[in-house]
Chains A and B, each alone.
Chain A
Amino acid sequence: MALLTFGEALIILAGKGGIDISVGSMLSLAGVIFGLAMSNGLGMFGSVVIVIFSGLILGAINGILVSYIGLPPMIATLGTSYAYSSLALYLTGGVPISGFPEGFSVLGQENTLGIPNQVLFVVVPIAILTYLLASKTSFGRKIYLAGTNDEAAKLATINTRKLRLYLFTYSGILSSIAAIIMCSWLMTAKADAGNGLEMKAITAAVLGGISIKGGEGNISGVILAILIITIISSGLQIANINAILELSILGIVLVAVVAIDNKFKKRIKA
């Protein structure tokens, strides 16, 4: 979930109605591709390369639809989301792919120094990378500027089409990395592994203070939001509250936080 959120956050940040609804389906499809590659004997390294490459392609398709064909991001990624998840289902025939080697579970199920390996070796580095990208590089600055005023950004020679293409591609790559982690955790590749994750990713991005209008917010807020959401859901598990209620609590938190934030901002203005 965390990885998907980073891609999502940057796309929303870049404005012009940017949103990626297909992250969940990309995760599902990438996971299936990974499972197929492994079971066809491509080996760990080859499979990882292939899956990341396919994530890149899936993301780039979104980017091209949005930037160069000019579809609204909401529609474009809704469409690809259907296409990707049905393709995933078709490839597996509805049967989960299992039979990953024993050692593969190291990534998703084991800890180092008490921290889950997936967090320590994947999520943390990517969080740092995304943070640096957004707030310290010229690429990140361009994201903020394009997200604030696309027209002005273009006239300041920022290639906003290319920028959005890159961001959708980044989101695709992160989805495919998340797919590998998911496979390692479940030790199977399921065609519905990513169902509903796109909404969680959007929730975390917004909760982290990314303005849905673009241009405003920062990645450290998003990291905090991911932590909070993780704490809430594991807290609920420990407290033995029905998992079905988890989403409704998340929804309430989202609405409440944004409402309080709005109220607060208005008061400052007045």
Chain B
Amino acid sequence: MDKTILELKNISKSFGGVNALKNVSLNIEKGKVVGIVGENGAGKSTLMKIIVGALQPDSGEIFYKGKRVTFKTPLEAMNSGISIVYQEPNIFGDMSVLENLFLGNEELSKFGKINWDKMYENGKNALSLVDLPEDILSKNMNELSIGNQQLVLIARGVSQNCEVLILDEPTSILSYSETETLFKIIKRLQEEGVSILYISHRLEEITRITDSVVVLRDGEVTTSMKTEDVTEEKIISAMSGRTFNMDVFRKRDLSDVPTLIKVDNLSHRDYYSNVSFSIKKGEILGMYGLVGSGRSEVARTIFGDLLSSGGEIYFEGEKINNHDTKSAVERGIHYLPEDRGVQGLFNIHSVKYNMSASFIENFVGKFGFIDRKQEVKAVDDNINKYNIKLHSMDAKITSLSGGNQQKVLFSRWLLKQPKLLILDEPTRGVDIATKSEMHNYIMNLASEGVSILLISSDLTEVLMLSDRLIIMREGKLVGELNRDEFTEENVLRLSIGLQ
């Protein structure tokens, strides 16, 4: 028993009548990496916040190194050795890396003066733990890449004699190589005896770096198992209480099908150059690349939201260079943007308003008035068809879970049947059950003859759904693979530039 460093006993927490956590008990041993998985809203983040004292449990006890503890703030927990790094980097961009490292924990000398020399020394040591060079200490946080910002926060977490480190979806914003660095650091910390709680949506990461996995569903621990015993199906059914067919791909014969869109040497001064590809009717073309590789910009050009500086786009044989979004939609080109919050949601408005936004004109009756009955009916049909969970279509969109919000945006574009549907990161930040549902919808659309350009940095997703795959790196198309050539290794090699 002396191997246990952190023990949770019957933790419960409710928010206004909703049980976020029900009698959760957990044991974390020294030097182990424990993966925590669960759908959005399963209670993962709440549980982590309770451990570090950002929230107080309604009942239950936490034992740390055998002693009962109640932390009042995350800072208090951190000083005792339990640190948390949140999903979105919590940074002060205009302050230096050094200041960010010691925020709220500055080294003080007599009379409350900040002891910069000592802090610099400590900062250097902290950064060496995460393989960052010391000369960035004086840089502004904003000058670092998001990945390095995340690493600085981890350094902040582990610098204070950390014994338990909580990482909340650390890789969701990291690139491939940054993720690799993070994994190396996790391994090293583990060897030094630090226990790590690792929250993630990505099963391949969970199976790679954890020793055991705990699955949460609706605030309860449904399964906890050794990582050796983990299979994707087991995890998913534990998460959702249902079983899923992961193999959604359906083979269709596309040999005699005409080409729908042909992109020829498309270029943009700032974002990409000489991009050429074509998509057949009913084909799913995957586009893989890291954030910033120009993939979204190519999509937005086809949709008419960005102007190209060279090259041509042919749609159904017709040249459609630099058309606008309105005529794109009239032609049947629909685009689900990458960033749900910034580019998709009207967050103070209802589900109904959010769903009908792109096609309000379709519901216009006499004198430009909106025909409410027609609108309600169309929205209602979509809610049923895509199994969106809500109390009412007049509820605010923000009251829905992330997965359901994404379904609303996805089905917004299906109020009218598109010819080409461009999906930009359609399942980012979406729980696995919803993801699997959406994969089915995408496959169904393709079977109905809708062409799909699927942009994703989720490798499993593009490999699973695409008929063909193109890979972008630094604004250029660096490769094209047919389905029979699909392997993770092939794709990753191309996307990071190994030959």
Interface residues of A (CB under 8 A from B): 132, 136-139, 141-142, 144-145, 148-149, 151-159, 215-216
Q: How far is the CA of A206 from the CA of B363 in the complex (A)?
A: 31
Q: B353 to chain A: which residues have CB within 8 Å?
A: 141, 144-145
Q: Which of A138, A139, A145, A152 makes the CB contact (< 8 A) with B342?
A: A152
Q: B346 to chain A: which residues have CB within 8 Å?
A: 144-145, 148-149, 152-153, 215
Q: Are A156 and B363 within 8 A (Cβ)?
A: no
Q: Are A159 and B326 within 8 A (Cβ)?
A: yes
Given the interface pairs A148-B348, A215-B346, the reply to whether A153 lies near B368 with Cβ below 8 Å is no
User: Nearest chain-B residue to A158 (Cβ)?
Assistant: B357
Q: B324 to chain A: which residues have CB within 8 Å?
A: 159
Q: How far is the CA of A216 from the CA of B353 in the complex (A)?
A: 13
Q: A157 to chain B: which residues have CB within 8 Å?
A: 325-326, 328-329, 358
Q: Are B326 and A156 within 8 A (Cβ)?
A: no
Q: Which of B348, B358, B368, B369 makes the CB contact (< 8 A) with A156?
A: B358
User: Nearest chain-A residue to B368 (Cβ)?
Assistant: A137
Given the interface pairs A149-B345, A152-B342, the reply to whether A137 lies near B369 with Cβ below 8 Å is yes
Q: A154 to chain B: which residues have CB within 8 Å?
A: 305, 325
Q: Are B349 and A215 within 8 A (Cβ)?
A: yes
Given the interface pairs A138-B370, A159-B326, the reply to whether A151 lies near B357 with Cβ below 8 Å is no
Q: How far is the CA of A124 from the CA of B47 in the complex (A)?
A: 57
Q: Which of B329, B337, B360, B412 makes the CB contact (< 8 A) with A141?
A: B360
Q: Are B329 and A151 within 8 A (Cβ)?
A: no
Which of B325, B357, B368, B370 has its CB near the most chain A CB atoms (within 10 A)? Answer: B357
Given the interface pairs A136-B369, A141-B370, A157-B329, the reply to whether A152 lies near B360 with Cβ below 8 Å is no
Given the interface pairs A145-B349, A157-B325, the reply to whether A137 lies near B370 with Cβ below 8 Å is yes
A173 to chain B, nearest CB (A): 17
Q: Are A155 and B349 within 8 A (Cβ)?
A: no
24 contacts between A and B (CB under 8 A): A136-B370, A137-B367, A137-B369, A138-B361, A138-B363, A138-B364, A138-B368, A139-B368, A142-B360, A145-B349, A148-B347, A149-B342, A149-B346, A149-B347, A151-B342, A151-B343, A152-B344, A152-B346, A152-B357, A153-B346, A153-B357, A156-B357, A157-B358, A215-B346
Q: B343 to chain A: which residues have CB within 8 Å?
A: 151-152, 155
Q: How far is the CA of A138 from the CA of B375 in the complex (A)?
A: 11
User: Nearest chain-A residue to B329 (Cβ)?
Assistant: A157
Q: Which of B305, B360, B363 makes the CB contact (< 8 A) with A155?
A: B305
For the residues of B in contact with A, the DSSP-based class is: helix
Q: How far is the CA of A166 from the CA of B303 in the complex (A)?
A: 25
Q: How far is the CA of A149 from the CA of B346 in the complex (A)?
A: 6
A144 to chain B, nearest CB (A): 7
User: Nearest chain-A residue to B336 (Cβ)?
Assistant: A155
A68 to chain B, nearest CB (A): 14
Q: How far is the CA of A154 from the CA of B347 in the complex (A)?
A: 15
B298 to chain A, nearest CB (A): 15
Q: Is B335 an interface residue (CB 8 A)?
A: yes
Q: How far is the CA of A176 from the CA of B16 in the complex (A)?
A: 53
Which of A132, A137, A138 has its CB near the most chain B CB atoms (within 10 A)? Answer: A138
Q: How far is the CA of A236 from the CA of B347 in the complex (A)?
A: 42
Q: B369 to chain A: which residues have CB within 8 Å?
A: 132, 136-137
B341 to chain A, nearest CB (A): 9
Q: How far is the CA of A144 from the CA of B353 in the complex (A)?
A: 9
Q: Are A152 and B345 within 8 A (Cβ)?
A: yes
Q: How far is the CA of A137 from the CA of B305 in the complex (A)?
A: 25
User: Nearest chain-B residue to A137 (Cβ)?
Assistant: B368
A129 to chain B, nearest CB (A): 11
Q: How far is the CA of A241 from the CA of B337 in the complex (A)?
A: 58
Q: Are B357 and A145 within 8 A (Cβ)?
A: yes
Q: A148 to chain B: which residues have CB within 8 Å?
A: 346-349
Q: B357 to chain A: which residues have CB within 8 Å?
A: 145, 152-153, 156, 158
Q: Mark B305-323, 1 if CB is under 8 A from A, else 0.
A: 1000000000000000000
Q: B325 to chain A: which residues have CB within 8 Å?
A: 154-155, 157
B353 to chain A, nearest CB (A): 7
Q: B363 to chain A: which residues have CB within 8 Å?
A: 138
Q: Are A155 and B344 within 8 A (Cβ)?
A: yes
B56 to chain A, nearest CB (A): 16
User: Nearest chain-A residue to B369 (Cβ)?
Assistant: A136
